[in-house]
Structure 1
Amino acid sequence: MNTVVRERVGAVGVIRINRPQVRNALDPDTLLAMTDALLGYDADAGVRAVVLTGTGELSFSAGMDLRAAAEGRLVDVARSPLTLLRGGYRKPVIAAVNGPAVGGGFELALACDLVVAAEHAYFALPEVGRGIAATEGGTDLPRRVPVAVALELGLTAEPLPAARAHELGLVNAVVPADEVLPRALQLGARIATHSPAAVRATKRLMHLSLDPRVGDLGAVNRLATLELLAGPDAAEGAAAFVAKRAPRWADAP
């Protein structure tokens, strides 16, 4: 059985963690397959957005496969999908959180650009109970939620219900379980109607605005504007508006 399943729904690529028997835990083979799938979709001009989800309703992902870790089977961090997602992956990624997202599963959701969660889902960082720390995104939580909330999640390992995650702004929508994937696909399809170049630029610039290492954000934004104006999509967008027709965007990845 493939531990990662790829599917295409129109212009949206789907990556599904397919290890329901272990609550979609992440062993090295699964992580590498996820990275391969992400790289494949990044290179495919026909894919405009990506949805990441899990099989079944019991779990989005339980995080690191502890049996594999106990056997010393760990993935090279440089080849981890978390490293790829957090390192400037160009296309929008939507997490369809079909069940609990725990440890590395929570960090996967955090690494995505948008999150749709099932009503029964929850998020948790149990790493302190395993003698480790959630250093692949969990320790960045103070950038996303109040520090006191982040510390409570990280230090107590108590779960955060999906509804509370929505209140805190970690989740875009909370829906019944059978609507999670359709809602995520709907978001992806909506993104796919827009200029790929402008979507990539908007995602990059918004993430850069959170990076304290970036100096003159105004200059970065002005340069991005000039680059977009020099490309074909800006002219096509204006022409389509005047002609009252749907734009025909360039397909270059």
Structure 2
Amino acid sequence: MTSQEPNFAFFDIRTNDGVAVLTIDRPPVNALSRELYESLDKVIDHIEATPDIRVVVFACKPDARAWIGGGDLKEFLTLTSETRRSRHEYVEAITDRFYRLSCPTIAAVTKPAPGGGMVFASFCDLIVAADTAFFSMPEVDRSLTGGAGAYFSRLNMPVSFIREMILTGRRLSAAELKEVGFINYVLPEAEVMGKAMELAELIASKSSAAVRAIKRGANKIDEIGWNEGRAYAHEISASELVDGPDYKESITAFLERRKPQFNR
């Protein structure tokens, strides 16, 4: 069932059977302005306050020139050292909230994703990209560090590849990034949303409690490493999942060879 969603500046969100399609809409290239970040903050509030949203597919409009075109360079021209620092702190707070969304996120990248677009894709749990899309970290050409590759180190991408990417700022094809594990699927543009929705619907069919616990555990592993992270994830299982209704239902359903009926 499709639910009625509130209106947000620069974003459209539509939810059906647990899957929310979040479409960014700031023509022509979906540049990341301060106002857009403020709106995204409200979108995140809405997603977290809506348990029926179990997966988010992040997309752009078909006529967009970029999936996300990076930071708004016109705003950049007005920045001083102090206002740049303030902007960075604000932006990082919002992007961290996006990364830590309790439900999984899937990037449906049908258009180019330079700079901030590539960073946002990296914060999604899965990436489905068009074979015509390109990615880049062009901050070296804007006299900025762009985080010096930190966003990609957590993904265990090869250090030499990250260094080349951030020092040259060159365009990277979706196929090239799939080879280093950044992208899950590379498809013709017309097939990207279909695949993203297929994955989203599969995840949405699982126990929401388990999916959210797994994402929280996986994010924690990003922060503290696999050894301590696995202990954290196992503790979530013991303290939150085992006594919940989905635990016994999922095992019973498997033994009885039927589909589980989860407590959404």
Is TM (by shorter chain) over 0.5?
Answer: yes
Runs of at least 5 residues in structure 1 that lack an aligned partner in the other structure: none
Change (3 A) 1:221 1:17: closer
CA contact 1:17–1:30 (8 Å) conserved in 2: no
- Quick one: distance in 2 between partners of 1:222 and 1:5? 37
Tell me the CA shift for residue 107 of structure 1.
0.4
Q: What SS does the aligned partner of 2:15 have?
A: strand
Deviations 1:24-63 (A, max 9, x none): 1111121222222222112211111001112235311111
Aligned match of 2:259 = 246
Tell me the CA shift for residue 139 of structure 1.
2.4
- Number of equivalences: 248
Tell me the CA shift for residue 218 of structure 1.
4.6
Tell me the CA shift for residue 161 of structure 1.
0.4
* Aligned residue type for 2:172: L
Change (3 A) 1:196 1:98: same
Tell me the CA shift for residue 17 of structure 1.
1.1
- Quick one: distance in 2 between partners of 1:150 and 1:16? 29
- Quick one: distance in 1 between partners of 2:105 and 2:49? 14
Tell me the percent identity. Answer: 31
- Quick one: distance in 2 between partners of 1:80 and 1:69? 18
* Aligned residue type for 2:150: T
* Aligned residue type for 2:192: V
Runs of at least 5 residues in structure 2 that lack an aligned partner in the other structure: 1-7
Aligned match of 2:22 = 15
Deviations 1:69-103 (A, max 9, x none): 324494762675412123x2211000111111111
- Quick one: distance in 1 between partners of 2:88 and 2:166? 23
Q: What SS does the aligned partner of 2:186 have?
A: strand
Aligned runs of 1:1-253 on 2, under 5 Å? Answer: 2-21=9-28, 23-56=29-62, 58-72=65-79, 74=87, 77=90, 80-86=93-99, 88-135=100-147, 138-144=149-155, 145-212=157-224, 216-227=228-239, 228-251=241-264
Q: Give the 4+ runs in structure 1 shifted more than 6 A.
A: none
- RCO higher in structure (CA 8 A, sep ≥6): 1
Deviations 1:105-149 (A, max 9, x none): 1100011110000111111001111121212x8423233311110
Query: In angstroms, what is the RMSD of aligned CA positions?
Result: 2.3
- Quick one: distance in 1 between partners of 2:34 and 2:65? 21
- Quick one: distance in 1 between partners of 2:250 and 2:227? 31
TM-score (norm 2): 0.85
- Quick one: distance in 1 between partners of 2:92 and 2:220? 23
